[in-house]
Amino acid sequence: MLYHNAMQFRTSRAPHLPNNYRINRVMGEVLLALIPGTLAMWWYFGWGVLINIALACSTAVLAEWLCLYARGRNPLPALADLSAMVTGWLLALALSPLLPWWQTVLGSLFAIIVAKQLYGGLGYNPFNPAMVGYVFLLISFPVTMTRWLPPDVLSQQTLSLADNLRAIFQGLPPISQGWDAVTQATPLDQMRTGLSQNQMLSEIRQNPLWGDYGARGWEWCANWFLLGGLYLVWRKVISWRIPASLLGALLLIAGLFWLADPETHPFPAFHLFSGATILGAFFIATDPVSASTTPRGQLIYGAMIGLLIFVIRTWGDYPDAVAFAVLLLNMAAPTIDHYTQPTVFGARPKSSHGT
Amino acid sequence: MNYRTIISDGLWRNNQALVALLGLCPLLAVTSTLINGLGLGMATTLVLLLSNVSVSAIRYWVPDEIRLPVFVLIIASFVTTVELVMNAYFHEFYKILGIFIPLIVTNCAIIGRAEAFASRNPVHAAAVDGLAVGTGFTLVLVVLGGLRELIGQGTLFAGAHLMFGEAARSWVLSFGPDYAGVLLVILPPGAFLGLALLVMIRNVLDRVVVRRAQTAPAAVAA
């Protein structure tokens, strides 16, 4: 028996490629690539970021375990693949740092139970679970979800760990300050408000929230997420197509509008380096389950998300648009895949087939 | 067909909202509060009862080819009557329910019962069926409305005075002003999620009942 086992070749599943492409490896690399950006967010926005991640991840893992138990599956392999961790982590990065704890927990539960397990678990979910959780929270609790902190470099005094815990778990603003003193609209939100009051961009840019080419603080978070994303592309965990076409399309349309009217449309780099564009392009739009899978399809999928981000940011009701754009294209992904099937290796082109 | 079967079909086994999934348009649109659900449910029940009775009464005289237009005309007349009555006696409430009262005409559950039951059964059976189906539909509207109202805005029986007079203002239960509410539950997606939840609970209960029924004779035999 032992001899028999030793003689067996290790083969991978179809298409029998000699790689080691396992779910937990992929998810582990994604978590690793998220670390630099997460640390940058911690640096600029304080302890709340890390507390949110801890809350969201533990809730997500617990919810996954409960669902698998209720469905009569063996929970261990599914928990070990780290996909619930990634969902919780991505959701937490999208949340405002001082969000009340129960909202973070609710969003996480909604993401795992409704968006993932009710559809059949990992591999069957048509929508990106983290973004479903985020949109659920954004629509349900608009007040707390848009109450962001200004980046650390701009606030008069930094919030201690105790202040963060008080705000998150007791819902109290930091001692001797009101919510309005510590929180602020995000730069994208602030730009919207300014533009809707007929201010020129050159006036809006006077606000200290604006940095060198993106929004202050946000641009550096985006840089570090970009680094993590490039690492994923280099490790071939994600393909370059979705991020490249997403960022390219966003740059193109934002550039055109900026050329036409630079006083109402910001410099294209602002679209890339403020808000969640970079995080979305490399970590969220590339979700292997809900994204398009064919090479040409991925280019279309990414470009459409890029265009939609610009459209929703400019003319939509919400300041940031990555989540909505990704969810809309998740819906379109099966259709895109259907019309962009690559030619099977060895197949003849259709025109010569009949002759 | 005895009354017992008709009633249990209408309320549970063939509940128009949870099993047949008919009449979803008003079901999803007006169940933002319990009272709204109750009001529309009662209006629907009334129309269902009247239309079932009329369709059953004239069932021998309606040619098969034009039965559907006839049913629609009958239903539309009763809906118009109910609409005028509500406008007269519950004016504020009428304004809140708005377009969904005239839209009872398009409620598939009503024409479904006319076609599937009333046009083939005697008047008394059709009347019981109309009442049972309408009550089943109303119950779902009330439960869904109550659920959404409770989670979504933290109250129960809000707007009761519109239906039961000024004395009912004090019926309103509330979590208090600190409850911020969950906006999504009030919005249309909340209706879909809530309905799915109710369908799930109904299926689970059904399965439990079936399992009980299967194990009970075995226990007797043992």
> Looking at residue A298, what is its pLDDT?
93
Looking at per-residue pLDDT, the higher value among A176 and A72 belongs to A72
- Give buried/exposed letters for A187-208 (b at 16+ CB in 10 A, else e): bbbbbbebbeeebebeebeeee
Minimal C-alpha gap between B29 and chain A (Å) = 18
Question: CB distance from B199 to chain A under 8 Å?
Answer: no
Question: CB distance from B184 to chain A under 8 Å?
Answer: yes
Cβ of A140 within 8 Å of Cβ of B182? The answer is yes
Nearest CB neighbour to B180, from listed A114, A136, A141: A141
3-state secondary structure of A148: strand
Closest chain B residue to the Cα of A135, Cα to Cα? B184
Looking at per-residue pLDDT, the higher value among A185 and A231 belongs to A231
Q: What's the average model confidence in pLDDT over A229-242? A: 90
Question: CB distance from B182 to chain A under 8 Å?
Answer: yes
pLDDT above 60 for A348: yes
Q: Would you state the structure tokens that stand for residue A294, as one six-digit string?
A: 């064919």
> Looking at residue A59, what is its pLDDT?
95
Q: What is the ipTM of this complex?
A: 0.77
For every residue of chain B, DSSP letters joined together read --HHHHHHIIIIIT-TTTTS--SHHHHHHHTTSHHHHHHHHHHHHHHHHHHHHHHHHTTTTS-GGGHHHHHHHHHHHHHHHHHHHHHHH-HHHHHHHGGGTGGGGG-HHHHHHHHHTGGGS-HHHHHHHHHHHHHHHHHHHHHHHHHHHHHHHSEESTTTHHHH-GGGGGG-EE--TT----HHHHSHHHHHHHHHHHHHHHHHHHHHHHHHHHHHHHHHH-
Q: What is the C-alpha separation between B113 and B55, in angstroms, rounded?
A: 10
Q: Would you state the structure tokens that stand for residue A285, as one six-digit string?
A: 């739009």
pLDDT above 90 for A8: no
Peptide bond into A15 cis (omega under 30): yes
> Looking at residue B164, what is its pLDDT?
77
Closest chain B residue to the Cα of A140, Cα to Cα? B183
Closest chain B residue to the Cα of A139, Cα to Cα? B184
Minimal C-alpha gap between B15 and chain A (Å) = 24
Question: CB distance from B180 to chain A under 8 Å?
Answer: yes
Residue A109 identity (one-letter amino acid): L
Q: What angle do CA B85, B88, B92 make, to 5 degrees?
A: 110
Q: What angle do CA A66, A69, A74 make, to 5 degrees?
A: 125
Q: What is the C-alpha separation between A140 and A147, in angstroms, rounded?
A: 14
pLDDT above 60 for B196: yes
For every residue of B169-222, DSSP letters joined together read GGG-EE--TT----HHHHSHHHHHHHHHHHHHHHHHHHHHHHHHHHHHHHHHH-
Closest chain B residue to the Cα of A144, Cα to Cα? B180
Residue B222: pLDDT band (50, 70, 90) is: very low
Residues A178-204: pLDDT tens digits? Answer: 666 667 777 777 777 777 777 777 777
Residues A79-103: pLDDT tens digits? Answer: 788 889 999 999 999 998 888 899 9
**Contact between residue A104 and residue A55 where contact means Cβ atoms under 8 Å apart:** yes
Contacts of B132 by beta carbon, 8 Å cutoff, 6+ apart: B6, B7, B9, B10, B11
The single residue listed with the structure tokens 């740092």 is A97
> Looking at residue A187, what is its pLDDT?
76
Contacts of B26 by beta carbon, 8 Å cutoff, 6+ apart: B40, B44, B100, B103, B104, B107, B141
Cβ of A141 within 8 Å of Cβ of B185? The answer is no
**Contact between residue A148 and residue A96 where contact means Cβ atoms under 8 Å apart:** yes
**Mean per-residue pLDDT over chain A, rounded:** 83
What phi and psi values does residue A345 have, to the nearest 5 degrees? Answer: -60, 125
Q: Which CA distances in Å does B187 have to A316, B39, B52, B155, B161?
A: 18, 19, 33, 16, 23
Residue B180: pLDDT band (50, 70, 90) is: confident
**Mean per-residue pLDDT over chain B, rounded:** 86
Within 10 angstroms of residue B112's Cβ, the number of other Cβ atoms is 15
**Contact between residue A153 and residue A184 where contact means Cβ atoms under 8 Å apart:** no
Q: What is the C-alpha separation between A240 and A243, in angstroms, rounded?
A: 6
pLDDT above 90 for B73: yes
Closest chain B residue to the Cα of A106, Cα to Cα? B182
Nearest CB neighbour to A142, from listed B183, B189, B193: B183
**Contact between residue A125 and residue A86 where contact means Cβ atoms under 8 Å apart:** no
Chain A residues with CB within 8 Å of chain B CB: 114, 136, 139-144
Within 10 angstroms of residue B87's Cβ, the number of other Cβ atoms is 13
Closest chain B residue to the Cα of A133, Cα to Cα? B184
Best residue in A114, A138, A140 for a mutation probing chain B (most B CBs within 10 Å): A140
Provide, as residue numbers in chain B, all residues whose Cβ is less than 8 Å from the Cβ of A143: 180
Cβ of B183 within 8 Å of Cβ of A140? The answer is yes
Best residue in B184, B193, B195, B203 for a mutation probing chain A (most A CBs within 10 Å): B184
> Looking at residue B96, what is its pLDDT?
83
Q: What is the C-alpha separation between A65 and A177, in angstroms, rounded?
A: 40
End-to-end distance of chain A based on CA atoms, in angstroms? 55
Q: Would you state the structure tokens that stand for residue A188, as one six-digit string?
A: 């994208």
Question: CB distance from B183 to chain A under 8 Å?
Answer: yes
